[in-house]
Amino acid sequence: MLDIKFIRENKDIVIAGAKKKRIQVDIDRLLELDDERRALQLSLDEGRSKQNQVSKEIPSADQARRDTLLLEMKTLKETLTAQEEKMQQVMQEWRALMVQVPNVPDISVPEGESDADNVQVRTWGEKPVFTFEPKNHVELMLFNDMADFERGAKVAGFRGYFLKGAGAKLAWALEQFVQNRFAQKDFTPMIVPSLVRREPFVGTGYLPQSEEDLYKTQDSDYLAGTAEVATMGYYMDEMLEKKDLPLKFFSYSACFRREAGSHGKDTKGLVRVHEFMKYEQVVLCEANHAESVKWHEELTANSELLLQELKLPYHVVVNCGGDIGLGQVKKYDIETWMPSENTYRETHSSSYFHDFQTRRLNIRYRDEDGTVRYAHSLNNTALALPRILCQVVENYQLQDGSIQVPEALRGYMGTDVISKRS
């Protein structure tokens, strides 16, 4: 959430930012409501002050004066009640518009409508050259008895899956690999809830805009699609100390997404599923743009290093205005090579938000001089399973349908090659 003072003083910048993100919000109406809100608040404050003054005067007044004051109090109370009711109406619409106002994207964010307009920043690795027609991950995993999609759909419905045999072992190997790499870094590991109350979703910007993509329980709680939501809620409504920043978390949760807007996309296999697992990097740092940029680059580099150790070719793109969310100032996607599709597919996303999320979540810290500020927040995927399995098995496939195990995972797998007999 942006500060209303910032919106008032930078109306044109906020409108331009919303336009760049292709988000429609009526800033003029918001400012009209804010004028009304402020006028009502002033009138209410004056009325309550007058009410207090009259209340103090009544006990010492003579009967005639007391009758006059009591009549005045009755009229004043009726006026205040009407104004309070009006204030509730105004605030309801004001709040609804405030949570729709997007964060202002960084000047380096390119113009564009969709992910097709994202701009490549860099590439890494050599794409594999096959002397045969490469199979896709579904064919490879079925051939090597690593997954069962038919029974997955029978048990869990559309996009359901089982990982089995070497498929399960490969997933566990990737988890152990990533866990061990982050154990060498100064991140606090956390296992966080998947079942989360509404407030952290609103705070992180997933509600109200993305409600259709969330699973909701009969108790009006939600299942999270990323460990970011619960991790950001950890310090909700708390005051931190600057000396404790940055706070860095390596968070895990099971994740769930309805994929409501993806009808007809990636209907087979593991690229787009309803239930998955994620390890997420989350950082809270001081309210400084340069600090946010520094951590954004460092979190991105952490994920790149994992892919480099796995020797998976990838490129990094900076997302265009139409392909970043409500709260993000800037976002990188890391996309890893998919031989069967002859293209890169997203495996990691890295974003920073300034104080957009922390203002909503009321996460503050006290500076050295006692000034209270909202912290800045960032997040980045460390590992998303089972999606990364697609790139691993496709890039490491052999002509006979077996799959080489990446060197970085062999110690966890206990084998160099996955075959039907694995």
- The residue whose two tokens read 């020797």 is 311
Give the residue-averaged pLDDT of 145-164. Answer: 93
Q: What is the pLDDT of residue 266?
A: 65
Q: Residue 165's pLDDT is what?
A: 95
Confidence label for 380 from pLDDT (cuts 50, 70 and 90): very high
For 338-377, give one letter per residue: b (16+ CB within 10 A) or e.
bbbeeebbbbbbbbbbbbbbbbbbebbbeeeeeeebbbbb
Q: What is the pLDDT of residue 193?
A: 96
Average pLDDT over residues 146-160: 93
Contact 346, 401 (CB under 8 A): no
Over residues 10-21, the pLDDT tens digits come to: 999 999 999 999
Segment 387-393 shows an average pLDDT of 97
Q: How far is CA 298 from CA 64, 255, 290, 302, 305, in A?
A: 75, 25, 12, 6, 10
Q: pTM for this one? A: 0.90
**Per-residue pLDDT tens digits for 329-375:** 999 999 999 999 999 999 999 999 999 999 999 999 999 888 999 99
Give the pLDDT score at 232.
Answer: 97
Per mean pLDDT, which range of 117-131, 266-280, 310-324 is the poorest? 266-280
Would you state the structure tokens that stand for residue 48, as one six-digit string?
């309550």
Strand partners, 277: 254, 385
Nearest to 145 by CA among 403, 398, 410, 399: 403
Q: What percent of the chain clears pLDDT 70, i.e. is strictly above it?
A: 98
Q: What is the mean pLDDT of residues 218-229?
A: 93
Q: What is the mean pLDDT of the chain?
A: 93
At residue 222, does pLDDT exceed 90? yes
Please report the domains of the chain, with CATH numbers, ordered by start residue: 4-98 (1.10.287.40), 115-418 (3.30.930.10)
Known catalytic residues? Answer: 257, 272, 346, 349, 387
The answer on pLDDT for 419 being more than 60 is: yes
Measured between alpha carbons, how far is 389 from 406 in angstroms, rounded to an integer? 11
Specify the DSSP class assigned to residue 362.
T
Give the number of other CB atoms < 10 A from CB of residue 16: 14
Q: How confident is the model at residue 208 (pLDDT cuts 50, 70, 90)?
A: confident
Which residues have C-beta within 8 Å of that of residue 310, sequence separation ≥ 6?
177, 392, 406, 408, 409
